[in-house]
Amino acid sequence: MHQATSVVLVGRTGNSWRKEHPRRDTVLVSIGSEDDVMSGFVIGRAYLFFSFAHQGTNYPCALVHWMVPIGDNPGCDTGTWVVKLEFERNGQRSMVVMHLDSIARAAHLIGTYGSTLLPGDFSDSLDVFRTFCVNRCADHHTFEFLSH
């Protein structure tokens, strides 16, 4: 007889990681089909993991800041998708509350370097770089997700 198993998503986010700097994990979010841009995935920068109950049902959720692909194809230099943080026209972060079932897995991003030096005192690379390469080679599963 088979036993039902569940997958536990462990994410870390907080305003004071080790009593110093904020911590914001990035996640791969399923929003479409394999035929869509980035195989139907986008990146989210998690700001908060929480749950609430409504009429006896518990809903595990995340508050995420969208990171959207630049272009319809992976970058020609690296073959990886390049993403940037999305903002509304008024400059506010483009954020959404989503069910944790929409999150496929953690995402590993690599900052895209330019011609200027990085500040010596930055604490969060997601605040320093403007664009990021999505590391599809972070592990086997991420490679499979983003290689369609």
How many beta carbons lie within 10 A of that of residue 143, not counting itself? 12
Residue 96 has pLDDT above 50, yes or no: yes
- Summarize the confidence of residues 61-82 as an average pLDDT: 86
Residue 50 carries which DSSP code?
Answer: E
Strand locations in the chain, DSSP E?
Answer: 13-17, 21-24, 26-30, 41-54, 57-69, 82-85, 95-99, 103-106, 109-111, 131-134
Give the per-residue pLDDT at 101. Answer: 92
Residue 14 has pLDDT above 60, yes or no: no
Give the per-residue pLDDT at 56. Answer: 92
Instruction: Tell me what percent of the residues of the chain surpass a pLDDT of 90.
Output: 28
Residue 93 has pLDDT above 60, yes or no: yes
- Summarize the confidence of residues 76-98 as an average pLDDT: 89
Give the per-residue pLDDT at 92. Answer: 93
Give the per-residue pLDDT at 66. Answer: 93
Go through 95-121 and write b for each residue having 16 or more CB atoms within 10 A of its CB, e for each that does not.
beebebebbbbbbbbeebeeeeeeeee
